[in-house]
Amino acid sequence: MPKNMPKIEWVGTPNHRAGRNGRKPLAIVDHITAGSYPGCLSWMQNPASQASTHYLVLRDGRILQLVKDEDTAWHAGAVNKPSWSLYDGSNPNAYTLGIEHEGTDGELTGAQYQSTLWLHKQLMARYPVITVDDQRIIGHYRIDSVNRPNCPGPKFPWAQLFKDLKGENDMLDNLVIYADGDTGAALILSQKLGCPMVHKGSADKYQAAKKHWVGVQGTNDAGNIYYAGANRAETARKALE
């Protein structure tokens, strides 16, 4: 994770429905605004538009949140000749997260790409069912191939995004959270990153498998990486950075 992580700014919109009818997000749908900020935001905050998204990533790298994850945004409800295997015949807004990107053809700025990459990672960590898979991370065109064939656009960096997300996963595959003192912080990290957690004195099998491990509230005396904070939240946050 970068040390200077992006911040998510809450802006809100009335264009949403509370809750998800008992459903949970199982995929991310990427979009392009086909317009510039602040007009694109104003449109999604205008009740007459009947449109919204969970997140809007601007060209300067700012991330705006319009709808809470646990609520239903109106970003991909119209279905027309879909090519998405997880579409089950019901409104896809109920089980997807929408990310809009400011732009026209899908080409992102460097700052915008880094922010959306970070955001994808955050959402994947929050919802483990969302994996690096072309059925779990899709473009709007996969749901409406007739009216949205260019959303998020021909220049959207799919290959780079999947490569970078997969690279992060490859690194995490060899990471173990080692509880050396503060089990609470280790548990937070384990759940956040989806890595196994082991207690002090029971890490031999992981070391034998040449796994890398992060210890919390310990001392670096075995060539592994340790992070320590004043409390479990600070320790976990420092290790995530």
Q: What tokens does 19 get?
A: 């809750």
- Give which of 66, 160, 172, 53 is closest to 113, Cα–Cα: 160
Q: Are residues 136 and 99 in the same domain?
A: yes
Q: Is the same domain home to 197 and 160?
A: no
In a domain, 1, yes or no: no
Q: Do 24 and 87 have their domain in common? A: yes
Same domain, 139 and 161: yes
Q: Number of structural domains, the chain?
A: 2
Report d(CA 45, CA 29) in Å as an integer.
Answer: 19
Asked whether residue 2 is assigned to any structural domain, the reply reads no
Name the residues annotated as catalytic. 100
**Is residue 85 very low, low, confident or very high in pLDDT (cuts 50, 70, 90)?**
very high
pLDDT of residue 187: 74
Q: Angle at which helices 232-240 and 183-193 pack, to 10 degrees?
A: 40
pLDDT band at residue 219 under the 50/70/90 scheme:
very low
Task: State the angle between helix axes of 110-126 and 158-173 in degrees (0 to 180), rounded to the nearest 10.
Answer: 50
Does residue 98 surpass a pLDDT of 70?
yes
Q: What is the CATH number of the domain that holds 233?
A: 3.40.50.12090
Question: Is 132 found in the same domain as 197?
Answer: no
pLDDT for 99-132, tens place per residue? Answer: 999 999 999 999 999 999 999 999 998 998 999 9
SS (H, E, C) 10-36: ECCCCCEECCCCCCCCCEEEEEECCEC
Residue 134 covered by a domain? yes
> Within this chain, do residues 128 and 15 fall inside the same structural domain, yes or no?
yes
> Domain ends where: 148, 170, 192?
170
| Shared domain check, 126 and 13 | yes
Looking at the domain assignment, is residue 33 inside a domain?
yes
Q: Which residue shows structure tokens 């509230």? A: 217
pLDDT at 217 > cutoff 50: no
CATH of the domain at 111: 3.40.80.10
- What are the beta bridge partners of residue 30? 99, 139
Containing domain of residue 212, as a range?
A: 174-240
Are 68 and 182 found together in one domain?
no
Name the band, by pLDDT with cuts 50, 70 and 90, for residue 188.
Answer: confident
Residue 127 within a domain: yes
How far is 172 from 193, CA to CA, in rounded Å?
7
29 and 148 both lie in a single domain: yes
- Stretch 31-44: mean pLDDT: 98
Summarize the confidence of residues 82-89 as an average pLDDT.
Answer: 97
Band (223; pLDDT cuts 50, 70, 90): very low
Are residues 159 and 119 part of one domain?
yes
* Same domain, residue pair 109 and 217: no
Pairing status of strand 8-10 against strand 55-57? unpaired
Cα end-to-end span (Å), the chain: 5
CA 114 from centroid of its chain's CA atoms: 12
